[in-house]
Amino acid sequence: MLDIAIVGGGTAGLTAAIYALRAGKKAVIFEALAVGGQIVNTPDIENYPGIAHVSGYEFAMGLSEQAKALGAEIRFENVTAVEPDGSAFLVTTGSDAYDAKAVILATGAKNRPLGIAREEEMIGKGVSYCATCDGMFFRRKDVAVNGGGNTALEDAAFLANYCSKVYVIHRRDEFRGDEKSVELLKSKENVEFVLNSTVTAILGDQKVEGVEVTDKNTGEKRVLPVSGLFVAIGQMPANDAFTDVVSLDPKGYISAGETCLTGTPGVFAAGDCRTKEVRQLTTAAADGAVAALAACRYIDAQG
């Protein structure tokens, strides 16, 4: 019988393990792929309090080593279901099953890719899914933002403060984001809208040197000479396996607030997998701490 089963080995899950172990609980992290989560692909983190510069890989490995030094066990197994089992929970993986007194779901969310050739290859070499994480590396350079929602508009506004030129590429002629944000971008001299268009190719050998966009109405192709492509077309949480114990919002995120409490006592949600306004490294770490302490209180209350 485990005290706490933590599903996901990203920043939220690893932080949860650290807090749970320090509280004297036995915590096991279940991770399908590799520890660290999305942040592993970030070449340089500049916005984590107290650490001026660190690569995403170094940050993730440091967090992992800290958790393991406290006694965390990491099992590389894909959790396929979490179900109530009397006073505990049955955690099923592809190869085994475990009983746990409490469960923390920290499955994260993947950035939705464009799905074009060389996109994955160019991550960290000009392709990014987080303007606030990576935007500062493109000071005084030309970049493109692909997307039409509030995230894309906010990313473009942020980048316009540092970049020489920002192209905003959207497949429709109207944005889904707030009109106020659209008007703000229109007022900036270094922002250009490229509407009714999609990115159809990424150019450059070792790094991004441009993107090809194709007009959806005319088929005309155009090359934008940019050093960076910021993709902001949404995220994809992977929470369908847990619908027996949590409720999901229409976008697939676990319904849980800043307390990380779900509608099921004993099940908590931390990090990018839950409903929240801000998805950043700091908020993932905060969620991990909040969820772990809440899980410890729950277990102690059960006697």
Residues 6+ apart with CB under 8 A from 223: 203, 210, 211, 212, 213
Average pLDDT over residues 228-238: 92
Task: Please give the pLDDT value at position 138.
Answer: 97
Is the pLDDT score of 152 beyond 90?
Answer: yes
What residues pair up with 54 in beta bridges, in sequence order?
Answer: 45
Is the pLDDT score of 41 beyond 80?
Answer: no
Task: Please give the pLDDT value at position 127.
Answer: 97
| The token pair that represents 168 in the structure block | 């905003």
DSSP, collapsed to helix, strand or coil, labels residue 289 as helix
Task: Please give the pLDDT value at position 123.
Answer: 94
Task: Please give the pLDDT value at position 46.
Answer: 81
What is the C-alpha separation between 169 and 67, in angstroms, rounded?
42
Q: Which residue has the tokens 């059960």?
A: 302
Residue of 108, 209, 192 lying closest to 145 (CA atoms): 192
Provide the pLDDT confidence category of residue 38 given band limits of 50, 70 and 90: confident
Sketch the domain layout of the chain as residue ranges.
2-111+235-302, 127-231
How wide is the angle at C-alpha 232 spanned by C-alphas 228 and 233, nearest 5°? 135
Is the pLDDT score of 219 beyond 80?
Answer: yes
Is the pLDDT score of 42 beyond 80?
Answer: no
What is the C-alpha separation between 226 and 208, in angstroms, rounded?
7
Q: Are 284 and 274 in contact (CB under 8 A)?
A: no
CATH number among 3.40.50.11540, 3.30.350.10, 3.40.50.10860, 3.50.50.60, domain 127-231:
3.50.50.60
Residues 6+ apart with CB under 8 A from 18: 63, 66, 67, 70, 72, 288, 292
Task: Please give the pLDDT value at position 102.
Answer: 98
- 81-119 pLDDT, tens digit each: 999 998 999 999 999 999 999 999 999 988 889 999 999
Element at 152 (helix H, strand E): helix 150-160
Task: Please give the pLDDT value at position 132.
Answer: 81
Provide the pLDDT confidence category of residue 37 given band limits of 50, 70 and 90: confident
What is the C-alpha separation between 292 and 13, in angstroms, rounded?
9
Task: Please give the pLDDT value at position 261.
Answer: 97
Task: Please give the pLDDT value at position 150.
Answer: 85
CATH number among 1.10.3720.10, 3.50.50.60, 3.40.50.720, 3.40.920.10, domain 2-111+235-302:
3.50.50.60
- 178-208 pLDDT, tens digit each: 899 999 999 999 999 999 999 999 999 999 9
Task: Please give the pLDDT value at position 125.
Answer: 96
Is the pLDDT score of 49 beyond 90?
Answer: yes
What is the C-alpha separation between 279 and 282, in angstroms, rounded?
8
Average pLDDT over residues 142-171: 95
Task: Please give the pLDDT value at position 110.
Answer: 84
Task: Please give the pLDDT value at position 234.
Answer: 84
CA-based R_g, the chain, Å: 21
This prediction's pTM: 0.74
By annotation, the residues acting in catalysis are 130, 133-134
Q: Which residue has the tokens 């209180």?
A: 297
- 221-230 pLDDT, tens digit each: 999 999 999 9
- 80-91 pLDDT, tens digit each: 999 999 899 999
Task: Please give the pLDDT value at position 39.
Answer: 83
Q: What is the mean pLDDT of the chain?
A: 94
